[in-house]
Amino acid sequence: MDPKTTFVSSYKFIDLHRTFYELSEHGSEHDEIEINQTFRFGKHLGWSNLIEEYRLIILSEAGSGKTSEIRNITYALRHEGKPAFFLRLEHISRDFEDAFEVGTYEHFEEWLASGEEGWLFLDSVDEARLRDPRDFELAIRKLSRQIIAAKDRTHIVITGRTTAWRPKTDLNYCTQHLPYEATTTAEHEQNAEMNGPEGSVQTNTASEDKAQPTFKIVAFDDLTRDQIAIFAKARGVKDSKAFLDAVERADAWSFTSRPQDLEELTEFWLDKGRIGSRLEIMRNSIDRRLSERDQDRADIRPLSMECARQGARLLAAATTLTQNPVITVPDGAENSKGIAVQSILPDWDNNDQLTLLSRPICDEAIYGTVRFHHRSVREYLTAEWFAELLRRETSRRTIETLFFSNQYGLDIVIPTLRPILPWLAILDEKISERVRKVAPEIIFEGGDPSQLPLEVRRYILREVCEQIASGATGRSMRDYAAVQRFANPDLTNDVRALIQEYANHEDLTEFLLRMVWLGQLSDALPEALEVSLHATAEKYARIAAFRAIRAIGSSEDQEHIRQSFLAEATELKREWLAELIEDIQPTEHTVTWLLACLEKSEPKKRFTVDYLIERVIEFFGIADIDLLPQLVTGLNHLLSIPPVIERRDCEISQKFKWLISS
């Protein structure tokens, strides 16, 4: 194989610099270890770490991008002149020579004879088991025979959906047929000869390393905000900040965790100029996750959308009512902590049960089990199941007793099913009426309040404001995401009236201004400006007003706020200044303003944390080099203002020493 040969990918790949987290520390020992995003150990791993491993398993849900990632890393290694091959596991069992998708069998034979290290990327366990469950084992045995003389110089990466991976059986099988023994390097041997007992210690360490699990098992991290922005730009979204802000306002981050969901969210944005309401996103996401994109897989294991949705509703309801989110996979590892899918879907055969659980509506949770991709998905599907039952009026009284109870003459909401009510209130009018009477703040806790009639939302908003004014401290009413879900332009006049009505109530002013900011209620600009210009306003209310002006005000409005702030006092509050620096572009004019504000800023208090240092560093970091003389001169002036701290030949302003990092 010519090491100088370059390989150009024939598909469009967006390099998001994906990261991984490790699962294998416990997975090889037993089967009851959670591997969701809340449990992991060790640092984040990148491809630069993973390609150093000789035995690696990558487990992930469908649509997470594992096939694209390993295909791309294969191209990258080959571009560097390294022997790397991408093979389909399902083809290895039948015809090894035709299993190569990147690289060829001829190049593979050349590599075997070369004595070089090589990389084999094998995709994927679940595909290999589609036609015959034994095909995976057959593929591993056949591969083992092919590389028998090169096992210890072969890096092997195997991918699969978590539902298809049997943590004990498969791991033991791969370890048996694809063993790897780390050889002691010549350097270690030389040290052993030269250093005697110390050399013995090194040899023992090497032996301990060999005792570690042969295969490292990892899973993908969710996409970060920066990765989502990169993806959106690559897909043609010109204003990625506007796209991310729309995701933020819709509280839709759970629908951006994997590339396949993000692909369709960006397509919707490019087509409609918006990402849709939370209800639209939820329904579209569930439809996509219940369908099978791979036509071959769909042909082998057909499952109608209607059947899949009904099964998903039953699973969601069962896990919600039992308060056990974990579902055991048919033929998976034995696990006493999950609900057996056979008990929920007794009329389904094993193949249909496994087909449903392998759809990306489910995520990995524990080896041998799955759970719903996201809690909000489970809650919505449960609400759909209850709504279907409520259409039969004979069931209504019984069902409502699961949600509401009367104690000492007072109607209350039963806590265990409380998360279902925000969605169910959208789907059932009578439930909506009862929620409004018993606990209207529940509408803030989830679901998609924008789908409720305007009059209902007006009533709920006023009721919640009265509760806050009376001293209620319900977290759901003040939660950031809750305000995002409720803020809608058709409530603008109500919000404006309430701001004026409760002008002297600091908590309510902040609450309503956050609604102006997050909902981009542009007609409420006069109210936001009034609070922004009020030097004695409550701290967080004014911060919310600053953010509202940034979202709905003009550049002239923002400049007016900045200049008024500079002139309003002899000593400026650090928190407010930090907020005003956010998102402003460094120019000669804004640098002059910032340096003047810094000179008037209040001293930094010891043992307190504020964002001013961070924002100043960010501002200076993005400034054009032409502004450097102005910045350096201004900082030098501030750092010289007495009284100073003397350290030998160095004198630094005691008040402004915090600016040194800038």
Q: Phi/psi of residue 369, each to 5°? A: -140, 170
153 and 266 assigned to the same domain? no
339 and 297 assigned to the same domain? yes
The amino acid present at 23, given as its one-letter code, is L
Q: Tell me which of 357, 377, 397 is where a domain ends.
A: 377
Does residue 596 fall inside a structural domain? no
Does residue 302 fall inside a structural domain? yes
User: What single-letter DSSP state applies at residue 167?
Assistant: T
Least confident of 77-91, 266-280, 571-585: 266-280
Using pLDDT thresholds of 50, 70 and 90, give the confidence band for residue 202.
very low
Residue 431 has pLDDT above 50, yes or no: yes
Q: Which residue has the tokens 């039963």?
A: 414
239 and 178 assigned to the same domain? no
97 and 163 assigned to the same domain? yes
Residue 495 has pLDDT above 70, yes or no: yes
Predicted confidence at residue 334, as pLDDT, reads: 56
Does residue 632 fall inside a structural domain? no
Predicted confidence at residue 191, as pLDDT, reads: 45
> How many folded domains does the chain comprise?
2
Mean pLDDT across the stretch 98-119?
94
Greater model confidence, 56 or 369: 56
154 and 300 assigned to the same domain? no
Least confident of 105-119, 191-205, 377-391: 191-205
Q: Phi/psi of residue 302, each to 5°? A: -70, 145
Q: Residue 549 and residue 243: Cα distance in Å, rounded?
A: 19
Using pLDDT thresholds of 50, 70 and 90, give the confidence band for residue 163.
low
Residue 644 has pLDDT above 90, yes or no: no
Residue 3 is encoded by which pair of tokens?
């090491």
258 and 364 assigned to the same domain? yes
Mean pLDDT across the stretch 274-302?
77
233 and 215 assigned to the same domain? no
Domain ranges, residue 95: 20-183+210-220
To the nearest 5 percent, what fractions of the chain are helix, strand and coil? 60, 10, 30
Using pLDDT thresholds of 50, 70 and 90, give the confidence band for residue 256.
confident
Residue 50 has pLDDT above 90, yes or no: yes
Mean pLDDT across the stretch 465-482?
68
Q: How many CB atoms lie within 10 A of CB 359?
A: 23
Q: Tell me which of 350, 377, 404 is where a domain ends.
A: 377
215 and 233 assigned to the same domain? no
Predicted confidence at residue 84, as pLDDT, reads: 97
CATH classification at residue 63: 3.40.50
Residue 4 has pLDDT above 60, yes or no: no
Predicted confidence at residue 332, as pLDDT, reads: 55
Does residue 177 fall inside a structural domain? yes
Q: Tell me which of 170, 191, 220 is where a domain ends.
A: 220
How many CA atoms within 13 Å lie on the side-chain side of 363? Answer: 21
Distances (CA, A) of 26 to 23, 210, 317: 7, 17, 31
CA angle 284, 381, 423 (to 5 degrees): 90
Mean pLDDT across the stretch 371-388?
89
Q: Residue 323 and residue 75: Cα distance in Å, rounded?
A: 46
168 and 266 assigned to the same domain? no
Q: Which helix (H) or strand (E) holds 54?
A: none
Residue 352 has pLDDT above 70, yes or no: yes
178 and 265 assigned to the same domain? no
25 and 174 assigned to the same domain? yes
Residue 2 has pLDDT above 80, yes or no: no
53 and 157 assigned to the same domain? yes
Q: Of the candidates 380, 289, 398, which has an alpha carbon nearest to the alpha carbon of residue 64?
A: 289
Does residue 631 fall inside a structural domain? no
Average confidence score pLDDT of the chain = 83
Does residue 303 fall inside a structural domain? yes
Mean pLDDT across the stretch 387-395?
86
Question: Cα–chain-centroid distance for residue 261?
Answer: 12
Does residue 127 fall inside a structural domain? yes
